[in-house]
Structure 1
């Protein structure tokens, strides 16, 4: 039981760090990989794409949380 909770927390911390690093990269870069100069609008679009990807991961983490809670109550 304890391993499930520890792995859940470690996974959440890793996702949070990756999201923070990705956000900093998106907002601080001047030119993207295709050579396009980043305007505030393009930075916002890139951030929204990053946010949508992480919302999917958040949904998976919430499902995992509910499974952990249900399993913990049964024991």
Structure 2
């Protein structure tokens, strides 16, 4: 495997870990930073916001995957 593939996998693992940590924080907290008690609806809303925030890194990783595949197939 080339270095670019290792970096791609490391990047993916990093973003997955960050996402899981954020998800665990959202799901396990009883009260948010503003002192509002978290209901299932508010937790779902916070999860949707987290998903929206992770769309940009997902797009970047997808483009990086396509570039890696094209470079690997041209050699």
Specify the TM-score bucket, using the shorter chain as the normaliser.
over 0.9
Q: How does 1:1-75 map to 2 (within 5 A)?
A: 2-75=2-75
Residues matched between the structures, number: 75
Q: CA RMSD in A?
A: 1.1
User: Could you give the per-residue CA deviations for residues 49-73 of structure 1, whole angstroms, max 9, x where no partner exists?
Assistant: 0011112211111100000011111
> In structure 2, how many angstroms separate the alpha carbons of the residues matched to 1:7 and 1:33?
35
> In structure 2, how many angstroms separate the alpha carbons of the residues matched to 1:55 and 1:17?
15
TM-score by length of 1: 0.93
Which structure 2 segments of 5+ residues have no match? Answer: none
Which structure 1 segments of 5+ residues have no match? Answer: none
Runs of 4 or more, structure 1, over 3 Å off, are none
TM-score by length of 2: 0.93
